[in-house]
Amino acid sequence: MIGRLQGRILEKQPPHLLIDVGGVGYEVLAPMTTFYQLPSLGEGVVLHTHLAISEAAHQLFGFFTQPDRSLFRQLIKVSGVGPKMALSILSALEADECVRAILDNNLQALVKVPGVGKKTAERLVIEMRDRLKDWASGKDERPASARSAEGASSANALAADAESALVALGYKPAEAAKAIAAVLKQQAPARSEDLIRAALRNMLPAG
């Protein structure tokens, strides 16, 4: 079991990462909540990982904090929730927001995540609320380098990267494009991760 990776970031294409560990490139799937905290390409990073094994593939999932990985592992224990759906949930909702939605029986917030219908949302609440009563989210564990901006790129390139990431997370292309366009009308994020985050916020219910 691979539980931790420490290496350099070679590629970032949400939800995919390529991490160089001693000359070996590890392909990792990560939620957007992890992408928001990553340093720039070429810089070092430590990820807490979970290896999901199925008949179709062996997939490695990476998380910036241990609490995020812990929540991911709780999510995939729920009937009908696989790693891909858990990744979408943790991309649309911060860990604390996800826990709060479950404890508050906020089905509206949960069903906004691609692939999560009302029945799945109800199962998340029923099966997880007791497990999450004592769940404590890690606070900001990012190094200072991870909190700095990576520099600006063109709006078109940002929009293309962000739309591709949202589609990969399960959103419809038209829905993704509309959300991204709405963000760009109001602001010009310097990083695709920031644009994705703002677009996801716009697609979730208020409150």
Per-residue pLDDT tens over the stretch 157-172: 778 788 888 888 888 8
Token pair recorded at residue 178: 């509309």
- In this structure, is residue 81 part of a structural domain? yes
Looking at the predicted structure, is the pLDDT value of residue 147 above 50?
A: no
Q: Which is more confident, 192 or 69?
A: 69
Nearest to 200 by CA among 35, 76, 77, 27: 35
Burial level of 197, CB count in 10 A (0-12/13-18/19+)? Answer: buried
Domain that holds residue 17: 4-63
Of the pLDDT bands very low, low, confident and very high (cuts 50, 70, 90), residue 123 is very high
Q: Which is more confident, 205 or 162?
A: 162
- In this structure, is residue 108 part of a structural domain? yes
pLDDT, the chain, mean: 84
Of the pLDDT bands very low, low, confident and very high (cuts 50, 70, 90), residue 126 is very high
Whole-number pLDDT of residue 175 = 84
55 lies in the same domain as 106: no
96 lies in the same domain as 50: no
Overall average pLDDT of the 179-198 stretch: 82
Q: What angle do CA 114, 149, 29 make, to 5 degrees?
A: 35
Mean pLDDT is lowest, of 3-12, 38-47, 81-90, 194-203, for 194-203
Q: Write out the DSSP string of 111-172.
A: HTSTT--HHHHHHHHHHHTTTTTT---------HHHHS------HHHHHHHHHHHHHHTT--
- In this structure, is residue 138 part of a structural domain? no
The count of residues in the chain is 207
Looking at the predicted structure, is the pLDDT value of residue 139 above 70?
A: no
Q: Give the bridge partners for 6, in sequence order.
A: 46
Q: Last residue of some domain: 22, 47, 63?
A: 63
21 lies in the same domain as 59: yes
CATH of the domain at 22: 2.40.50.140
Whole-number pLDDT of residue 56 = 83
Mean pLDDT is lowest, of 22-31, 52-61, 138-147, for 138-147
Whole-number pLDDT of residue 155 = 63
Looking at the predicted structure, is the pLDDT value of residue 193 above 60?
A: yes
CATH of the domain at 119: 1.10.150.20
Q: Give the bridge partners for 50, in sequence order.
A: 61
Whole-number pLDDT of residue 150 = 39
Looking at the predicted structure, is the pLDDT value of residue 142 above 70?
A: no
55 lies in the same domain as 71: no
- As for how many domains the chain has, the answer is 3
Q: Last residue of some domain: 63, 83, 108?
A: 63
Looking at the predicted structure, is the pLDDT value of residue 28 above 80?
A: yes
Q: Is the pTM of this model over 0.75?
A: no
Whole-number pLDDT of residue 173 = 82
Q: Last residue of some domain: 79, 95, 128?
A: 128
